[in-house]
Amino acid sequence: MKPMARQPLRLLLAAVAAVAMLSFLLLLAPPPDALLSAFLSPSSPYAHRPKLLFLLAGQSNMAGRGALARPLPPPYLPHPRLLRLAASRRWVPAAPPLHADIDTHKTCGLGPAMPFAHRLLLLLHSDEVLGLVPCAVGGTRIWMWARGQPLYEAAVDRARAAVADGGGAIGAVLWFQGESDTIELDDARSYGAKMERLVADLRADLHLPNLLVIQVGLASGEGNYTDIVREAQKNINLPNVLLVDAMGLPLRDDQLHLSTEAQLQLGNMLAEAYLKFNSSRGSML
């Protein structure tokens, strides 16, 4: 009888040991993003090739809150020559949601960057690569993007890392932000000056005095001063700063975030603005 009485205790100790070993292994395991990058990066022969780079910055509508439709619309499907700089700063195949490991406190969905990139891929040579550098974080005000603030410094560091890993050039900054600056009147009134300062600082810190910035005119706002911020966006007094107006594009039920259909349209509008700008300068891309 005694050996049988010990059997449950032995089973319990074995189970505890197994749980302890599993916990230890989990502590040693890399984070999910690193696992994803390690799995995906070798599958792309373009990871360390020179790329045409685009910095994606701003708040939730740039990060993407469009519903993740199944199946995905073709402009959101992966493409071998379309890569994303992950939070781990490794190049992985771009697939929505692009900001899942950047805008980590919110549920990310479809944004404008994938359809934007797919439109450009149609015009690129067959060996050229696009690199998307997600930096947007939902709910952020423009003062949070000032030089010295964590969001700004992270964006500049990620831009530098993108250029350094295989070379390449930054084609433009795609900027969609301002909804949070419509809540307080002082924020709305000071938006224009802060945006001009941001552009000047980015150009100085990235050593790109002619860096193209394509900003999205607000389609909505969190407060009552959307018109003031929109007016400031229209009156940015700097060269190589374009405005693509999202007003009138369909919104989700929250009346704040663009729908999937709207994000598709916006991506094409951003691509048109970029192509038109480069065409006027005698360059396609």
The CATH number linked to 167 is 3.40.50.1110
Please state the pTM of the whole predicted model.
0.85
Spatial separation of the C-alpha atoms in residues 212 and 202, rounded to whole Å: 10
In a domain, 166, yes or no: yes
In a domain, 185, yes or no: yes
In a domain, 9, yes or no: no
Q: What pLDDT does 284 receive?
A: 57
Q: What is the pLDDT of residues 170-203, one digit of tens each?
A: 999 999 999 999 999 999 999 999 999 999 999 9
DSSP E strand boundaries for the chain? 51-58, 82-85, 91-93, 129-134, 168-176, 213-217, 241-245
**Element (H or E) spanning 164, and its range?**
helix 150-164
71 pLDDT above the threshold of 50 = yes
101 pLDDT above the threshold of 60 = yes
- Count of other CB atoms within 10 angstroms of residue 151: 19
41 pLDDT above the threshold of 70 = no
In a domain, 237, yes or no: yes
Q: Which of 37, 44, 60, 180 is catalytic?
A: 60
- Domain, as residue range, for 279: 55-283
DSSP-derived secondary structure letter, 130: E
Mean pLDDT of the chain: 87
In a domain, 24, yes or no: no
| Number of folded domains that form the chain | 1
127 pLDDT above the threshold of 90 = no
In a domain, 8, yes or no: no
Q: What pLDDT does 90 receive?
A: 93
Q: Which of 101, 103, 180, 257 is catalytic?
A: 257
245 is catalytic: no
Residue 115 and residue 268 in contact, taking contact as beta carbons nearer than 8 Å: yes
Closest residue by Cα to residue 213 from 167, 154, 277: 277
In a domain, 38, yes or no: no
In a domain, 33, yes or no: no
Q: What pLDDT does 31 receive?
A: 40
79 is catalytic: no
Q: Which of 127, 186, 253, 254 is catalytic?
A: 254
Average pLDDT for residues 209-220, to the nearest whole number? 98
279 is catalytic: no
